Amino acid sequence: METRELAVAGALEVVLPVFPDRRGSFRPLYEEADWSGLPGVPPFRAVRSGLSVNRAGVVRGVHYAVPGRDGAPATAKIVVCVAGEALDLVVDVRAGSPTFGRHDTVRLTADADRTRAVYCPPGIGHAFAARAEGTVLLYLLSTPYRPADESAVSVLDPALGLPVPRHPEPVLSDADRAAPTLAEALDRGLLPAYQPPATTVAEQAPQQDP
């Protein structure tokens, strides 16, 4: 699969393969070995999925998950548009990350020729703005749903400067409208910590005395 590294460390734009014929096309979405073999992507196994159906003008996010109190990992996700059009945003909310506070965007559509997906590593903030009536995003997620570990920062935080529409006023949930700014969430200890990419076994091995 063709990939592009985004401005947020670990996040990727992925172009999915398309196999057309006279009937239409077939587009493989998820094969565990394919996704786990992408550059910088640790093993990814989808254990949960969902559809987000939206009116035009809806903005959702910036949502993120923290590691579970029982040591369970934070959620990684794959996002694909299956109807309509969305401006998808990834935002680095990981405290200590080299790209902390940065964001990047990908235009997601149900395009017949080039279907794009976004890979969000654990701890990354995700948001989107629906640009068409009936926009549907498909999520594949790596962990079971744990409501206590889900959180958000404000998609309207001026310090983030996210390119979401302001006129007409975006349609937000009450929870998203009340979400703290990134700085407030950092001060309150609400953000996930950045986890550097895993080292190899050889690099982790202790040095032996000569």
Residues 111 and 117: their CA atoms lie apart, in Å, by 11
Q: If DSSP codes are grouped into helix, strand and coil, which group holds residue 22?
A: coil
Q: If DSSP codes are grouped into helix, strand and coil, which group holds residue 186?
A: helix
Task: Look at strands 59-65 and 125-130 and give their pairing.
Answer: antiparallel
CB 161 within 8 A of CB 185: no
CB 191 within 8 A of CB 164: no
Tell me the residue type at 195: Q
Burial of 134 (0-12, 13-18, 19+ CB in 10 A): exposed
Which residue has 């239409």 as its token pair? 24
The region that residue 71 occupies, defined by phi over 0 for left and psi between -120 and 50 for alpha, beta otherwise, is left
Give the active site residue among 119, 126, 139, 167: 139
- 20's CB contacts (< 8 A; 6+ apart) are none
- 145 a catalytic residue: no
Give the active site residue among 63, 64, 103, 126: 63
Q: If DSSP codes are grouped into helix, strand and coil, which group holds residue 50?
A: strand
Q: Which residues are catalytic?
A: 63, 139
